[in-house]
Structures are given as structure tokens and as C-alpha cells.
Amino acid sequence: EDKVVQSPLSLVVHEGDTVTLNCSYEVTNFRSLLWYKQEKKAPTFLFMLTSSGIEKKSGRLSSILDKKELFSILNITATQTGDSAVYLCAGPLEYGNKLVFGAGTILRVKS
């Protein structure tokens, strides 16, 4: 059964800290892994990773994929209160662009 597992389930840090969020997956015929950020409303797309070892970066956020070990990490440096959100990891299933989501990591950044 295809599944995506995220850890930790929740995390509280102080502004300025660096955090690492983890995502492991078992997806048949893996093609890519996606990260989303969800504040109070819609999940917003952050990254799509298809190649192992190539870091994707957007400002203070970066992510990398390890296809051999079947996991990905999302790093956030110099965290700000605006980074407080649920971070979701997802992998497309083979057929039809369906996604299987992890349960999410709840990040709270305290000022």
C-alpha cells in the first residue's frame, strides 16, 4: 500500500531557529515528491522533487530528495512567526496524478 509518513507530528521552535521536517514514502513507481504549506486556508505548493540529491531552494526554505533511502527533508532557516503552518508532504500515485498525503507536521514558531 502506498504511504507517506511525516515526522515529527508537531514542533515548537523560537524565531531564528532552523528546523528540519522529514518525509518518508513508499510509493509504487515513484515519480516525484511534493511539499505544501497550509496556513489557515488552502495548501500552497512549495516544491516538487523528482531527482535525488538536487536541492530545491526558495528563500529560507529548501528541500532535497533521497530516492535510495526513500525520504525527503524540508529545511527552514532563520524561522519567523509567519512560518507557522502545517507542512504537508505528498507523493503521486502511478495512475492519474492522484496524490497520497502524509498526516502533516504542525510547526509553531514562537516570537
Partner 1 sequence: DVKVTQSSRYLVKRTGEKVFLECVQDMDHENMFWYRQDPGLGLRLIYFSYDVKMKEKGDIPEGYSVSREKKERFSLILESASTNQTSMYLCASSLNRDPRRSQPQHFGDGTRLSIL
Burial of residue 32, with CB atoms counted within 10 A of its CB: 0-12 exposed, 13-18 middle, 19 or more buried: middle
Pick the stretch among 17-25, 38-46, 55-63, 72-80 that binds partner 1 (CB under 8 A).
38-46
Asked if 110 is part of the footprint of partner 1 (rule: CB under 8 A), the reply reads: no
Asked if 92 is part of the footprint of partner 1 (rule: CB under 8 A), the reply reads: yes
- Residue from 7, 20, 28, 50 touching partner 1 (CB under 8 A): that is 50
- The smaller minimum CB distance to partner 1, of residues 31 and 57, is found at 31
